[in-house]
Amino acid sequence: MKLSSLALTILLMTQTTTANSQEVNVYSYRQPELIQPLTDAFTKRTGIAVNVAFLKKGLIERLKAEGSRTPADLVFTVDISRLNAVVEAGLTQSVQNDFLLKNIPSTYRDPDGHWFGLTTRARIIYASKTRVSEGEVTTYEDLASSKWKDRICTRSGTHAYTLALTAAYLHHHGEVETLNWLEGLKANLAQKPQGNDRAQVKAIWAGVCDISLGNTYYMGKMLGNPDQRAWAESVTVEFPEFQNGGTHVNVSGLALTKYAPNRDNAIALMEFLASPEAQEIYASDNFEYPIAPGTEADPLVKSWGDFTPDNVNLAAIAKLRSDALRLMEVVDFDG
């Protein structure tokens, strides 16, 4: 029987771990090229090999099926709701570690130690340089204003990034105001929600809309792509805030699996990833913001401007995801 590439990777991970205890195994929703520099640096420093199985979907289902036989020690993913989903499925264990607690601010980690953020990305506004005036973009609440009629582009309302922002809005304002905001935002769309964050910036460049919601790191990615550079150069990065808070941020992060066969090695990797050295490598490679005290963002990222992150613990945001999805369905946001 022919094994899929993922099944073969996991089989090799299991066999290798049995033969050599100086390893740590990772299931990752993050692309291999994003974490390879980090795992290479960790192995060079410690001698502990890192085996990464990249999954496009089904991480929770796989961990459930494997149970105590899983080779996985850590899971890597993006978006707080995805991290929280692994925790709520009972597939993680708490880590109480002084180094992690010191280097990862409380806003970006689970209060009970089941997940830890590594980098942040802000959910910002990309604004046309020619059709949006300076100071015109102010708050998330203002996106429902009639002045933006037929001027906004965004991706699907059911996407994890959109739901996280909506959950944050729900945290700040409650259900009634969030429902009104979603209705106003939908009424201001220039087209039905579609595509990814880069597609929205392309739509601004093409004149379809004037502003779009997106994550900060896409600016860096577009500038580095000759086919997309013109899109990026047609917009500015604007940092809206909640009226009673700051700019919404989300995380890339990790969690220790419940049955981690190489627990000590896994915690050593967690500590390394929370170190200033690794934080700056990780953030620079993907144009994100490091979160360890004393670390600096990449110069290109810093050139987009300063902002005040919302100070709500992301665990509270994650718990509102299902309510955010329900409200999206009530307004038929993608319809």
CATH number of the domain at 138, please: 3.40.190.10
Residue 7 predicted with pLDDT over 50? no
In the chain, the number of structural domains is: 2
| Six token digits for residue 142 | 């203002």
- Is residue 126 located within the same domain as residue 53? no
The runs of H, that is alpha helices, within the chain are 5-19, 32-46, 59-66, 80-88, 98-103, 160-187, 197-205, 217-223, 229-233, 263-273, 276-286, 299-302, 314-318, 321-331
- Do 208 and 95 sit in the same domain of this protein? no
Distance (Å, whole) CA 210 – CA 203: 8
Between residues 124 and 19, the one the model is more confident about? 124
> Does 128 map to a domain?
yes
Q: Is residue 304 part of a domain?
A: no
Half-sphere exposure (CA, 13 Å, Cβ side) for 300?
16
Q: How confident is the model at residue 21 (pLDDT cuts 50, 70, 90)?
A: low
Domain extent for 222: 122-248+309-331
Least trusted range by pLDDT, from 71-85, 139-153, 225-239: 71-85
Q: Give 82 or 148, the one with higher predicted confidence.
A: 148
pLDDT at 1 over 50: no
Same domain, 171 and 232: yes
> Using CA atoms, how far apart are residues 318 and 164, in angstroms rounded to an integer?
7
Residue 32 resides in a domain? yes
Q: 144-163 pLDDT, tens per residue? A: 999 999 999 999 999 999 99
Please indicate, yes or no, whether residues 135 and 237 belong to a single structural domain of this protein. Answer: yes
- Indicate if 172 and 116 belong to the same structural domain: no
For residues 22 and 116, state if they share a domain.
Answer: yes
Q: What is the pLDDT of residue 12?
A: 45
